[in-house]
Chains A and B, each alone.
Chain A
Amino acid sequence: MNVHPYVRCDEPSGPSASGLDRRATLRLFVSGTALALASCGRPSEQVTPYVEMPEGETPGLPMRFASALALGGYGRGVIVTSMEGRPIKIDGNPRHPASLGATDVFGEASLLSLYDPDRSKTPRSDSRIQPWSAFEAALRAQLERKKLRHGAGIALLTGRITSPTLVEKIDGLTKSLPEVKWYRYEPVDDDAVRAGSVQAFGRALTAIPRFGDVRVALMLDADPLGFGPEQIRFAHDLIGARRSHVAQDSLRLYAAEPAWTLTGAIADHRLAVSHQLVRNIALTIAGELGAAAPATELPPAVSEFVKAAADDLAARRGAALVQAGRSQPPEVHALCHWINHELRAPIDFIEPVDRVAMGHADALGALREDLDGRRIDTLFIIGANPAYDTPGDLQLAEAIGAVPFSVHLGLYEDETAARCTWHLPQSHPLESWSDIRAFDGTGSIVQPLIRPLYDSRTAHELLTLVGGSTTAGSGYDIVRNHWRKANNGNVDFDAWWRQSLQDGVIANSAAIPAPPPSPKLPQLTPARAGMNFTLALSPDPAVFDGSMANNAWLQECPKPFTKLVWGNALHMAEDDAHKLGVVDGDVVQLTHGRHVTEMPIITRPGQASGTLAATLGYGRSAAGSIGSNVGVDLYRLRPAGGAWVIENVDIVRTPRRENLLRTQHFFQLEGEAEELQPRLSLADLAQGHFAFTKPDANPPTLYPQTHYDAYEWAMTIDTSACIGCNACVIACQAENNVPIVGPDQIAVGRDMHWLRIDNYTVGGRPGFSPVPCMHCEHAPCEPVCPVAASVHDSEGLNVQMYNRCVGTRFCQSNCPYKVRRFNFFGYADGEEYKGFGADIVKAVFNPDVTVRGRGVMEKCTYCVQRISRARRTAEKEGRAIRDGEVVTACQAACPTQAISFGNLSEPQSSINAMRSEPHAYALLGNLGTRPRTTYLARLQNPNSNLGKPQS
């Protein structure tokens, strides 16, 4: 009898030998029907139907939770938006000092990492899938052996840990097993900064400039606006200090640097000098301020610059600041401390948040020695990837591979996982309970937004196991218990806990600044000019240290200056490239010592001659489907000391060329840049020496005047405040379900970002202007659409109806701003790039925004879904939408509030005030498009003694 496999047929079969009898047939029919109705059995556990909603949860309404995300080990407060239990957007936490409500690219993009299909999902040993219990058993056996020797041979290798709970846990571990060693390193280290403070003050102190109080600043290869855990806060303060239109009240910025930094781009005076010359500039400044510094020879242009800067600094004591960058040696940092002391610079000094005294490079060196000496046989690598992101000289990958019992806890099965005996999946920060401190010491509780997607553990849970506990315990209990103990019963702990979670900030946890001891004047000799080429390394603007290489949003995020995506390139000064006979895309060979690498070049006007610049974070071999084999790995070239500057690099050209994937190409322009991105000095502004197309200009038209009854949405972008950090670009991508297209599509000139940042060079100085849709009142895209898919709505928005669009692309051909984006393939709809099409990635989509199909035009909507939400709320409350109630995603992300949004029909609205600023202008306003997005010209505050701004 042929029976359905799921039907048990234990009764004797009927008398009919030839087939089924009537009873058997009926029985089968009934059981078949029953199986069909309840084919999946009820789970063994008690289940609760979704009859009553969880408290506070309404389907379709987002919930927001405060948490914090780490960058380089320091926290940035975030507010995560969750829809029906699914995190869909990360915003900044206004209460958190390292966020102030804004985000950076990495914070925005970590959402995508949560849903990364390449994430590690299960423990593995010898590339075989293993249950956690197998690991626990193996670990217990290993620890039993170790306990007798007080943990000798056990080592922890981690990144920077600022989590108080985790630090306590490690302390506890080293107490019970005193021989356990802890090595801490970050690929983006601050060794020189820290060593400089030790030289100056005798102990490590963290200097945090109060940029808000600074009026004159000299950046010696320092980049406070650059990428890192302090970026948002420093950008906010620094740009805030430049807002005044009175030259005396506006921060004047001088920068001397070998290669372009975001800070240098915005500086009022910027000088391209070699890495070595920066030190001599510092010496000269110190000499001008009365230090017994050795006299240095400076080239005339540099000398003039330094003199003007020194005078300016000296004139503004108490509001003047000199800062050195991480690539400068400790002596220069110490010297800057002395100068700042002389200048009474507004700097807060705090005890280092990272308590580990040993430098990052030293820690790696010590680890290497211990590995060589076979003093480590049990290695726990937690959240780090030393096989990739440590200096090539150390050759740690091989050394780690030789450790008999090595455990790697990480988000991905990366280069290090492949060399460890055990790999364990780590929970994403959005799945974990933890805590973290910001660069200024402010603590936050990290709370999960979602139950771990996979069978992963946090570092807390792993360390609990290592500590000898038989179960990992729950992260929640571990963190909570730590803070209960830390609060010592002084407060109502439950209320404290709730408040801390709600705020995203632990009250009064910031480190308290203390006046530092008087800095010693270091004995410095002037630097000699560097031999050969000097290679300046920096973390990448898109993938930072490489740990985020598998994040497609970041890979496709155009780098601020070069607009390069999906890879890195070697930046060369124009004259060097000319001498070598290479042009953009030519591949050169770099040699330093025994390390050789090849990479394509990009010429960079305004980079110091003899300086090469490149970013770390690329060339991953096991990042995942998105990030592997993208770009060139420069960690391999880094010497054992982990320096940011490699001197004496040889460079030769090769016959190869590579196609550079860039979203903006750079041309010799004839005045377009000045019109599209005008620059004004504060003096010009005061005297009215300029003529722009005003936002309210009314060029002649045949079209009837349109009237709007309720709202007239408009955006104003202050190009003075734009630092080019791309936070808005990724925020827009996350908010509006903008897909990535992949390197092949970028190569043929297709991209999907609704918001791009145009980079034009005027007078040798790059500048940034974010370009979203202009929402023209007389939009050229509208009359050309044959099916009226591009239309104006009653609030003045230029809207695109995806389901009406037939894809003639006439709208984009006729758009003077070229802000529309076309789905040439189903980028989000069946033809996704690599892993981007996995089911899990779909969870990242914002349910309020349509996912566009193939063949459809799309563009910036001014976050119309946010406007709708505000309108619904307002209508429920029977009022109009308030000024500032609608915040677009790009606006929310911007660390410097460069983007404003509001209602023009409200005469008192701040947007009206901004549009009537004297330096407001409409981009290509002469075409009669009447854009709703308008700009404020970039203002500069040059020193009149120094002639025109230097390039």
Chain B
Amino acid sequence: MTMVAVAGREGASEVERWTLPSARDFETVNALIAAPLLERGSWSWRVWWTAFVVSVALTTVFLIMIFMVFTRGIGIWGVNTTVVWGFAIADYVWWIGIGNAGTLISAMLLLMRQKWRASTNRFAEAMTLFAATIAGIFPIIHMGRPLYWYWLTPYPNTMHLWPQWRSALIWDFWAILSYILFSILFWYVGLIPDFATMRDRARTKAPRAIYGALALGWRGAAQHWYVYERLHIALACLGVPLVVSLHSVVGMDFAASLMPGWQETIFPPYFVVGAMYSGFAMVVCLAALVRWGFRMESLITVAHFDVIAKVMLTAAIVMGVSYATEWFNAWYGGDPTDRKLVAFEFTGAYAPMFWTMLACNVAIPQAFWFSAVRQRISAVFLISVLINIGMWFERILIIWNTLSHDYTPSMWRLFIPTFWDWVTTFGSLGLFAVMYLVFVRLIPVVSMHEVRRLIAEERSS
């Protein structure tokens, strides 16, 4: 990420600034961010309400789906004897991948002193938290007997039964659990100074009391800032290995198996990059929406989209190389099963999806080589949506291709999605939207204190 110049943009053009001149002083920034929450009457919430109603409707179907799964069984999905995993697992991997970017932006970029992260990290972290939470739902509802999910935990019991530590699913369980706990902690710690600002700016009683309680007595004392900075950096140091290990473990869910197309040492790093890729793509989508919805053009600038596009371009190349490595290894390794699986990927029943995936994940993002594309928010947004679709295809195809075309041709079967499969996927998007919409209405969507510092630094340099 060194290719991004850090600060010193006083003389830079509009498209190169992290903040625009209109957000030049601290009060403007505070007002810009806090106003939608504290002075609601002066904002039009029509779009918000429309989005909320739609996403609540989607969430309701999602909940109905969960009810159906619990009462009728997972047979309502298209999973079958051969392709025993389906949308639930693909959705899980997809969401957990999306849940990657917030931590990367906050923690990794913090450690790398990428100042521009200041105006994006809050809503990216929120995205992480919600995505990881939704991802956590899938491993439970996908089980045949979800009521016994706690058997994956090492709780004391009279029968001395213990989880099976060799299983990647147990590693996965701990990885998700620790990641969600970390995400909550990291997010909350970063919010404390802002909650204090909100408390101080609130004009009515209830917000003052609630934000005050959440601010944990923050007074902005030098000692507070000192402790805060230490804690934040320390958490960031914890977060980076955690995010890498989480996605490595998700990769090992597949890699620690015997199946062709899964049993590959490249999977852990490849999953980390893939997660970052889809996570950044989702951040772009949310950034564009937040920027538009809260009129944050002065804080989320074209330069942000430009730099994230560059990150995604790198990821697209890494993904392409990873795919090519898989194909090369299948050929070079000489195992006929692996070779036939690659042939099946390109020509089999799921080939149209596979080609779409390659287009979305590798080919189309090459447009980011051109600054004209990178600096056009609509283009970056569109490509990011395509990347997210492509990454979802990648997740489902990892499952479908291998399971549909493994060692035993007599059992080769295809997966045909059912109505409930689609509900599972789109319903989870609805649930995410609900959580996100509630978040933007209650919590400062951009970190005020970090943006203030960014402005100070941009001004001083």
Contact = CB atoms under 8 A, between A and B. Distances in A.
Interface of A: 664-665, 667, 669-673, 676, 745, 748-751, 756, 758-760, 771, 780, 783-788, 804-810, 812-814, 816-818, 821-826, 831, 854-857, 924, 927, 929
Given A676-B409, A748-B78, A825 B144 contact: no
Interface stretch (B158-166, B188-196, B205-213, B288-296): B158-166
Nearest to B162: A788
Contacts of A809: 79, 84-85, 144
Interface in B371-430: 403, 406-416, 418
Contacts of B98: none
B47 interface: no
B259 A808 contact: no
A771 B164 contact: no
A806 B75 contact: no
Interface in B131-187: 139, 142-146, 148-149, 151-152, 161-164, 166-170, 173
B144 A823 contact: yes
B144 A813 contact: no
Contacts of A854: 73, 144-145
B73 A771 contact: no
A927 B144 contact: no
B74 A806 contact: no
Contacts of A821: 81
B83 interface: yes
A813 B85 contact: yes
Given A749-B413, A783-B166, A788-B164, A816 B406 contact: yes
Contacts of B416: 748-749
A665 B167 contact: no
Given A786-B163, A808-B169, 10 more contacts: A745-B75, A784-B166, A786-B151, A786-B170, A806-B148, A806-B149, A807-B145, A810-B168, A814-B259, A854-B73
Contacts of B84: 809, 812-813, 822
A756 B411 CA distance: 10
A397 B84 CA distance: 48
Contacts of A806: 143-146, 148-149, 151-152
B367 interface: no
Nearest to A780: B258
Contact of A818 (B144, B148, B161, B408): B408
B81 to A, nearest CB: 5
Nearest to A771: B410
A787 B157 CA distance: 14
A822 B145 CA distance: 12
B407 A816 contact: yes
Contact of A787 (B83, B164, B410, B411): B164
Interface string B66-92: 000000111100111111110000000
B452 to A, nearest CB: 47
A90 to B, nearest CB: 27
Contacts of A748: 78, 80, 416, 418
Contacts of A856: 144-145
A855 B145 contact: yes
B410 A759 contact: yes
B256 interface: yes
Q: Which of B152, B161, B258 has the most CB of A within 10 A?
A: B258
A323 to B, nearest CB: 31
B283 to A, nearest CB: 31
6 contacts: A664-B411, A749-B414, A785-B167, A787-B151, A808-B143, A816-B408
Contacts of B406: 816, 818
Contact of B75 (A758, A759, A824): A824
B336 interface: yes
B298 to A, nearest CB: 49
B144 A670 contact: no
A751 B412 CA distance: 13
Contacts of B75: 745, 750, 824-825, 831
Q: Which 6 A-B pairs have the closest CB atoms?
A: A807-B144, A855-B144, A749-B80, A824-B75, A809-B84, A786-B169
B256 A822 contact: no
Contacts of A818: 81-82, 406, 408, 411
Contacts of A927: 258, 407
Contacts, number: 160
Which range contains the number of B residues in contact with the other chain? 35 or more
Contacts of B81: 749-751, 812, 818, 821-822
A37 B407 CA distance: 64
Nearest to A807: B144
Main secondary structure of the interface of A (DSSP, over half): loop
A786 B167 contact: yes
A516 to B, nearest CB: 46
Given A784-B257, A825-B73, A817 B407 contact: yes
A759 B410 CA distance: 7
B70 to A, nearest CB: 10
Nearest to B139: A808
Given A751-B81, A786-B167, A804 B411 contact: no
B412 A813 contact: no
Contacts of B161: 787-788, 804
B343 to A, nearest CB: 9
Contacts of A745: 75
B340 interface: yes
Contact of B407 (A669, A786, A812, A924): A924
A816 B142 CA distance: 22
Q: Which of B83, B143, B162, B415 has the most CB of A within 10 A?
A: B143
B310 to A, nearest CB: 37
Given A787-B151, A856-B145, A673 B409 contact: yes
A771 B139 CA distance: 31
Given A825-B72, A856-B145, A814 B258 contact: yes
Contacts of B412: 665, 667
Nearest to B258: A780
Contacts of B143: 806-808, 855
A788 B169 CA distance: 11
A758 B411 CA distance: 9
Contacts of B259: 813-814, 816
A810 B167 contact: yes
A804 B410 contact: no
Nearest to B148: A806
A780 B257 contact: yes
A810 B444 CA distance: 42
A723 to B, nearest CB: 18
B151 A804 contact: yes
B142 A808 contact: yes
B73 A787 contact: no
Contacts of A822: 81, 84, 144
Contacts of B144: 805-809, 822-824, 854-857
Contacts of A676: 408-410
B138 to A, nearest CB: 12
A756 to B, nearest CB: 7
Contacts of B78: 748
Contacts of A671: 336
Contact of B73 (A784, A786, A824): A824
Interface string B328-350: 00000000100010000000000
Given A806-B144, A813-B259, A856-B144, A749 B83 contact: yes
Nearest to A672: B409
A667 B411 CA distance: 11
Contacts of B168: 784, 810
Nearest to B415: A749
B163 to A, nearest CB: 6
A813 B79 CA distance: 11
A349 B410 CA distance: 43
Contacts of B414: 749
A665 B407 contact: no
B326 to A, nearest CB: 18
Contacts of A924: 407-408
B403 to A, nearest CB: 6
